[in-house]
């Protein structure tokens, strides 16, 4: 008989399953596990019903609102470097992909992030959607905008270095 695990801790993040209630929590917040295929169906449906332009607008707004919501859990903290380290771990532990902060300047109000193996890239490639990530960059812009109390924007580049593909996200104060 396979032993059932009802709690698992990955670094500082904790998953708990309350089997009798049918509830999964991630860091004490109700959560769900979703296959990439589910997100593929959602995005394809949005594209079909609303058209690609409107679908992308919805995904961008969704990412922004989610980033803003998550940033609120760090409200009142000024240790941005530590927040970025903590959140990079959270991002990875939640299955969103790996994050590497390659540059952060509080003075310049600028950050460069490399996104590796993101769920968004996997989903877009799987449905042959030829476009750059939308949700995660919007998420990070809102996250950083709220933490830095600035109106920020981003640029994204698809990069291959030493045979490894990733998205480089540059976040900066909006002109």
In which order are the strands placed within the sheet that holds 164-173? 98-105, 110-116, 164-173, 152-161
pLDDT mean across residues, the chain = 90
d(CA 67, CA 118): 16
Whole-Å CA distances, 80 to 110, 142, 148: 12, 14, 8
Q: State the pLDDT confidence band at 32, using cuts at 50, 70 and 90.
A: confident
Please check the confidence at residue 147 and state whether its pLDDT lies above 90: yes
Model confidence pTM above 0.85 = yes
Confidence of residue 20 (pLDDT cuts 50, 70, 90): confident
Altogether, the residues listed in the chain come to a count of 175
131 has a pLDDT exceeding 80: no
**Furthest-apart CA pair in the chain: how many Å?**
61
Non-local (6+) Cβ contacts of 116 within 8 A are 97, 98, 99, 100, 164, 166
pLDDT confidence of residue 5: 67
**Segment 34-62, tens digit of pLDDT:** 888 998 999 999 999 999 999 999 999 99
Query: Where are the domains positioned within the chain?
Result: 1-33, 61-173
pLDDT in tens, 63-119: 999 999 999 999 889 899 999 999 999 889 888 999 999 999 999 999 999 999 999
Phi, psi angles (nearest 5°) of residue 98: -95, 150
CATH code at 61-173? 3.30.1380.20
- pLDDT bin (cut points 50, 70, 90) of residue 135 is very high
CB within 8 Å of 46: residues ≥ 6 apart = 54, 55, 58, 59
CA-to-CA distance for 36 and 42, rounded, in angstroms? 10
**Assigned token pair, 124:** 């877009």
Residue 173, pLDDT score: 95
């Amino acid at each position: 008989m396979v032993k059932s695990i009802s709690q698992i801790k990955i670094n500082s993040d904790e998953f708990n399953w309350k089997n009798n209630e049918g509830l999964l929590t991630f860091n004490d917040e109700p959560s769900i596990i979703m296959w990439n295929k589910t997100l593929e169906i959602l995005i394809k449906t949005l594209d079909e019903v609303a058209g690609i332009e409107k679908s992308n607008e919805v995904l961008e707004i969704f990412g922004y609102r989610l980033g803003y919501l998550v940033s609120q859990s760090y409200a009142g903290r000024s240790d941005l470097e530590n927040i970025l380290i903590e959140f990079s771990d959270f991002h990875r532990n939640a299955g969103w992909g790996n994050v590497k902060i390659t540059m952060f300047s509080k003075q310049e109000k600028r950050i460069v992030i490399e996104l590796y193996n993101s769920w968004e890239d996997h989903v877009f490639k799987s449905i042959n959607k030829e476009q750059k990530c939308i949700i995660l960059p919007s998420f990070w812009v809102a996250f950083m905008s709220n933490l830095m109390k600035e109106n920020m924007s981003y640029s994204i580049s698809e990069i291959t270095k030493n045979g490894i593909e990733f998205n480089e996200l540059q976040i900066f104060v909006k002109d």
